Chains A and B, each alone.
Chain A
């Protein structure tokens, strides 16, 4: 089954404790992206990657890091989480950055 998976689905952590949210796709897509969703703000793009070792900033990259060492994986790293990073996070992928994106199920993060 073609899918984008994210782990964990739910995470509660404390300020300053480094965390990683994993994202993996099995569709051989070149393009992968991370979004955060906050009430009243819709989805905002954090980072995206056109291919292995190629990443670019979206609209809200501050406080986040990403890496793309393999085509299928695109982890999101919060080196020192803060409460304003409490949000619902989505990973998505598509072929060559065109057409519809396939979204993961989302990761709900609470930073205390």
Chain B
């Protein structure tokens, strides 16, 4: 069955340092999409970054990059130069392929940035 695993329930990082949030996925589809979302304490879901299964280069969006290792089925989020405003819950998600367009989310990682 398709599955997203985030093994880090919580993490701390010092301000201005880089942090990696882990995400592994399981799918038998060849075509799929991987996403990261941020949920601050206010509750809204904010899209951060997207990686398609056929994309050869790792996706980057400003301070966010996605370390995509297809053979290992991992899609880790790297946040560079952490800021206090990065403190939030982070969710990894996968859009299933094969025409179903179902989405699966991980259980999330709560990141706290320390001053």
Contacts and interface: CB of A to CB of B under 8 A. Distances in A.
Given A41-B107, A42-B106, A56-B100, A100 B50 contact: yes
Interface in B25-45: 33, 35, 37, 43-45
Interface residues of B, number: 22
B43 A88 contact: yes
Contacts, number: 56
A29 interface: no
Contacts of B6: 42
A13 interface: no
Interface stretch (A17-25, A43-51, A62-70, A72-80): A43-51
Contact of B103 (A40, A45, A50, A102): A45
Main SS at interface, chain B: strand
Interface residues of A, number: 26
A86 interface: no
A58 B44 CA distance: 21
Interface in B60-115: 91, 93, 95, 100-108
Interface in A56-112: 56, 58-59, 88, 90, 92, 97-103, 105-106
A59 B50 CA distance: 22
A5 interface: no
A110 to B, nearest CB: 15
Nearest to A58: B102
Given A100-B35, A100-B50, A45 B107 contact: no
B47 interface: yes
Interface of A: 31, 33, 35, 40-45, 48, 50, 56, 58-59, 88, 90, 92, 97-103, 105-106
- 9 shortest interchain CB distances as A-B pairs: A97-B101, A103-B45, A100-B47, A43-B105, A42-B107, A42-B105, A42-B108, A106-B43, A45-B103
